[in-house]
Amino acid sequence: MKKSPDQLRKEILRLTKEYSDAVHRSLSPEPQDFIPGQTTIPYASRVFDADEVGAAVGSSLDFWLTLGPEGEALENELSEFLGTKRCLLTNSGSSANLLAVTALTSHKLPAEKRLLPGDEIITVAAGFPTTVAPIIQNRAVPVFVDSDPLTLNARCDQLEAAYRPRKTKAVMMAHTLGNPFDLHAVTEFCNQHGLWLIEDNCDALGSEYSPPHGSPALTGSFGDMSTQSFYPAHHMTMGEGGCVNIPRDMRWKPLVESFRDWGRDCWCASGKDNTCGKRFGWQLGELPEGYDHKYIYSHLGYNLKPLDLQAAIGRAQLNKLPAFIRARRENWQYLRAALADLEGFFDFQLPTHAKIWNGKCGMRNEECPPSSTFSWDSSGASCDPSWFGFMLAVKPAAPFTRTELARRLDAAKIGNRPLFGGNLTRQPALARIKGEIPAAFRVIGDLPGADAIMNRALFIGVYPGLTRPMMDYMVETIRESVRTR
Ligand SMILES: Cc1ncc(COP(=O)(O)O)c(C=O)c1O
């Protein structure tokens, strides 16, 4: 008897689960699967099971392809998770950064707030290149403040020196390796000078920040806009993907959406017509009256949308996100406690506003809340990072270098990375631009903190797929590197 489409779908999804369970066991690797020195321990990796594979197959069977029902659902679920008004999916975190900065150039913004060529955006020197590239791509000027080598975040005491009346329009920086930057200082600075704030939250999904006189909230919900990456190394994945979050002011939505979707003036969802009710009733630019609104372009835009299939995978990942965040925090604490006696050789990352790590007090985040794990500065602010990685900076007096340590870890098949591009102003792309156009960017001071991070720091993984035997081997290898010097 011929099977109905519904029966076929069920069968396909049942077989998909069977296949996935047999082939991908990445959510719960067995301890015997890990062979020290032979099994690679990546610095980050996707963690998934049959839910994600089933979601991808189900979406393929629907064959909607472009952003559609799964995308809409994920946008709603993400804004609910983050406590923001709206989320707009993109095909990467870099695209999200490009869109957030480009939205600042819209002619629809008040003239004095609009980002014009030659205007400045304050950012931080050590980090990922696509936090900064969109500033230059939009013909604006990044102004680099230094990074603190312990928090890896901006030195906020340099913000005033970076500010230029009428030239500075925004601050854009990342919560580095999941560590919230000083949102209290930065939001006060932005409010005082009437600047936009874009939080690059790509590495910090789930991080919490408690301002001195406010309630704790997730990073990504403080600025005018914020961004996420859903590349596999990140807290959750869609394969490739990202989003722009709009925490409060929905006037950003049509701007970000327009730049994301070819620059169009129309805001109909994919597959929909005449949402505005006057599809043939507009006269804009020098176009004839009644020209089809679907083909009217008010901005010079891009097409930076993901597929609906990616969103389906993202939804399955979002269900697991709270457990992922918990595991990242627990893994960070485990490594921190296990390496505590190596403080003579390494500087370990500190959450912003923390002064010292107070020592091992239990491995589970609930048993060991950040309030008791760290001593905090006198600002009244604190934070609970949803860590992206575990940073070790080799002390200048240590008898080995960061590169030597990186080689040892590499030989032991332990994934490690520098803090992305290090001091970005020293990267060939920016050094060349500076040579060609000296005013292309400005630097506050000599950036010794960013150089220290570039020369001394590396990070290893805390991603949820790590097991205790893997972390014990990571710790033992680091110990051996220290001992055998
Ligand atoms: C801080 C930061 N911003 C932006 C990005 C770019 O994200 P994507 O790889 O999705 O383009 C990354 C990538 O890891 C990042 O670390």
Instruction: Show the domains of the chain with their CATH numbers.
Output: 62-309 (3.40.640.10), 321-483 (3.90.1150.10)
Residue 439, exposed/middle/buried by CB under 10 A (0-12, 13-18, 19+)?
exposed
Which residue owns the Cα nearest ligand 1 atom 8?
A: 93
For residue 3, the 8-state DSSP code is P
**Residue 123, both tokens:** 């950012």
SS3 state at 310: helix
Stated pTM of the model: 0.96
SS3 state at 341: helix
| Chain-centre distance for alpha carbon 379 | 26
Which pLDDT does position 227 carry in this prediction?
99
Which pLDDT does position 54 carry in this prediction?
98
Closest-CA residue to 67 (of 40, 87, 84): 87
Determine how many CB atoms are found less than 10 A away from the CB of residue 302. Answer: 17
Question: Could you identify the atom of ligand 1 that is nearest to the CA of residue 174?
Answer: 1
**Alpha helix positions (H), 86-169:** 93-103, 129-137, 159-162
Which pLDDT does position 31 carry in this prediction?
65
What is the whole-number distance in angstroms between the Cα of residue 44 and the centre of ligand 1? Answer: 13
Which pLDDT does position 32 carry in this prediction?
72
Radius of gyration of the chain (CA): 24
What is the whole-number distance in angstroms between the Cα of residue 458 and the centre of ligand 1? Answer: 17
What is the whole-number distance in angstroms between the Cα of residue 90 and the centre of ligand 1? Answer: 12
Question: Could you identify the atom of ligand 1 that is nearest to the CA of residue 233?
Answer: 14
At residue 48's C-alpha, the angle toward residues 42 and 51, to 5°, is 175
Kindly give the interhelix angle for 93-103 and 252-260, rounded to the nearest 10 degrees: 120
Pocket test for ligand 1, best of 45, 231, 236, 424 (most atoms within 8 A of CB): 231
Phi, psi of 243 (to 5 degrees): -160, 160
- How many alpha carbons fall within 13 Å on the CB side of residue 397? 5
- End-to-end Cα distance, the chain: 73
Which residue ranges have their beta carbon within 6 Å of ligand 1?
Answer: 92-94, 97, 127-128, 130-131, 174, 200, 202-203, 229, 231, 242, 420
What is the helix (H) or strand (E) element at residue 123, kind and residue range? strand 120-124
Residue 121 identity (one-letter amino acid): I
Determine how many CB atoms are found less than 10 A away from the CB of residue 46. Answer: 21
Q: Are 151 and 350 in contact (CB under 8 A)?
A: yes
Which pLDDT does position 271 carry in this prediction?
80
SS3 state at 442: strand
| Chain-centre distance for alpha carbon 359 | 28
Give the mean pLDDT per block of 10 residues along the chain (485 residues): 96 97 75 87 94 98 94 98 98 98 98 98 98 98 98 98 98 98 98 98 98 95 98 97 98 98 92 92 97 97 98 98 97 96 97 90 58 89 97 96 97 98 98 97 98 98 96 97 82
234 counts as catalytic: yes
